[in-house]
Each structure stands twice: as structure tokens, then as C-alpha cells.
Amino acid sequence: MPELPEVETVVRGLRSQLTGRCIVSVRLGKTDFIDDPAAIERDLPGRRIAEVARYGKFVLLHLEPPAGGPDGVGRGACLVVHLGMTGQLAPRVPEQPATPHTHAFFALDDGRELRYTDIRRFGRLALIPQPELRAFFAGLGADPLEITEEEFRTRLAGRRAMIKALLLDQHFLRGLGNIYCDESLWRARIHPARQAARLSSEQARRLYRGIRGVLTAAIRLRGSSISDFVDAEGRPGEYQLRHRAYGREKKPCFRCGVKIRRVIVAGRSSYFCPQCQSAPRKRRRGQSRRKRQ
């Protein structure tokens, strides 16, 4: 469910509600998606939330150093949350019965409870000491909203993977997922199976702008809700009403009217317009195009 716009939406909601709050106690249900459950139960109570941020698809709750650590130099830490496919993170009043599959309860000093719910448990929860944060995120690519067009083009060069595989790869860019890849490619009129390195500079430019345009528009509408996603207030987003490709198999393309098709690219359902997003020419066997000097 949650890609960059959904995570950004959750983070904005949590930021206004959690900043400055203190975590009073912790209660855990199933823990197979938690890195070190014992450490969370032991080290989290008493910690104050200094800052809420997003890193790619991760939600970051930066914690203040514990008061009066050994010789006064308590280490800061960060509660890192990945929502996987079905994760939800939202503060609730304790009277509100917990929905099924709620596996983490963090009682707050304002009487409310921050709850983590995740039907499939593809998410992840980890308490990372501040000094280890850098290593934890090592290898993730640039944020698609921060990268420059020049940088984007440079990183595309020489990559022989299919463009969709590359966009989905969090080591290439952090934050895109299946929905926004397809929407960006539709905007840019690029077939998902096109080889990245073979995009013209014109296409690369359109893709760069497509990605930015889609993400900013989706954030404005508080993300896409297909079936699970709700923000930190429990509200669904509305960007699913603006989808032009994703989930629209056999429906007419908004540009040309030709029926949207679904194919598997990079192991994922990929929706595209066969008219606007023309397929790459199939390369014949043995016709590998590598440095032929």
C-alpha cells in the first residue's frame, strides 16, 4: 500500500500529533516483523519523540536521548517503521477497541496510544541507535523529490535494466512503488519494459517531470487508498481517483482512448497504454549490444 506519498501523508499527520510526546509504555503482540522486540520493550519507555520524519518509505520517530544517561551523554535513537503492504500507524484513544492485527501499542503521556496494525506483517519495526542510522540506510538511492534532473539522467546512463525494474529498486531511488511507477511512466509515455539506458534525453526529462508531478499531486490528495491505506487520522487518501494507468486494465486511456493493458514487468503487474507507451523492439538472441569496438 504505502509508497512515498502515503508515507509522507502519515508522517505529516504523526508529526503534528506526536512531536514532543513521551512514550510511557510498550505492549507487543506478534513480533516476527520486529528486529529486536526485547530491546523495544526495554529501551523505549520513558523516551520522548523529538521529531517525526520520512526516509524513502520509512517512518522515523527520532527520540531524545534518555534523561541523565551514564555521565549525562545519553545516546539518541530512532524508532524506524516500514509499513510494508498493509501497515498502519496512528494514535488512538485507549477506549477505542484495537482493530484485528494490531501488534504494537505505545502508550503516550497525553493518554493516547500509538498503534501499529499490519494484516500481512510485511512491515518492519526497529529501534536503531543514532550512530547506526547511517549504516541502516546505507545503499538507499536519492529521494525522487530531491534529486536533480541532471543527477537522475546520470544515474540512468549505462543501466541496462528495464526502466520499471530500476524505478522500483530502492537502491536507485527511494520511495517509488508499483502504483507511482506506472503513473509516472504513463505521464512520460514510456513503456515499463524499455531499457533505462536507451531512453532519449527527451524521455528522461519527461520521466523526471512525470515522477515529480505524480508524487506532488498524490501528496496533495493525501495518497492513494486502494483497500487498506489510511493516514494518521484514520482517513483514506483520494489520489486513487486520479490514477491514469494503475488498476485500469481494459479501461480507456485518458489521452487516446485505447484500452489500458496489464502485463508483468519486473515481477509486478504493470499497467500501460499500448498506444501512448510503445513497446521496445524485441532484441534478437545473440544480438547483445555491448561495447563492440
Residues 229-248 that bind DNA (CB under 7 A): 229, 240
* Sign of the dihedral defined by the CA atoms of residues 240, 245, 248, 253, in that order: positive
Among candidate residues 57, 94, 53, the one with its CA nearest the CA of residue 229: 57
Among candidate residues 72, 63, 1, the one with its CA nearest the CA of residue 26: 63
Among 228, 244, 245, 272, binds DNA (CB under 7 A): 228
Q: Is 30 a catalytic residue?
A: no
Q: Where are the alpha helices (DSSP H) in 2-59?
A: 4-18, 37-43
Contact pattern for DNA over residues 31 through 50, marking x by CB under 7 A = -x------------------
60 binds DNA (CB under 7 A): no
With contacts defined by CB under 7 A, name the span among 20-28, 37-45, 170-178, 274-282 that binds DNA. Answer: 170-178
Q: Is 274 left (phi over 0), alpha (psi -120 to 50) or beta?
A: alpha
Q: Is 3 a catalytic residue?
A: yes
Which of 57/187 has CB closer to DNA? Answer: 57
What is the residue whose three cell numbers read 517512518? 59
Among 9, 102, 117, 224, binds DNA (CB under 7 A): 224
Residues 129-158 that bind DNA (CB under 7 A): none
Report DSSP letters for 241-265, one per residue.
Answer: GG-SSTT-TTSBPTTT-PBPEEEEE
Q: Is 290 a catalytic residue?
A: no
Q: Is 14 left (phi over 0), alpha (psi -120 to 50) or beta?
A: alpha
Among 12, 15, 121, 235, binds DNA (CB under 7 A): 121
Which of 208/239 has CB closer to DNA? Answer: 239
Cell numbers at 127, concatenated = 529501534
With contacts defined by CB under 7 A, name the span among 104-112, 144-152, 160-168, 277-285 that binds DNA. Answer: 160-168
How many residues comprise the chain? Answer: 293
At 270, the amino acid letter reads S
Contact pattern for DNA over residues 67 through 96, marking x by CB under 7 A = ---------------x-xxx----------
**Binding interface with DNA (CB under 7 A):** 1-3, 6, 32, 56-57, 82, 84-86, 100-101, 119-122, 159-162, 165, 168, 170, 177-179, 223-229, 240, 266-269
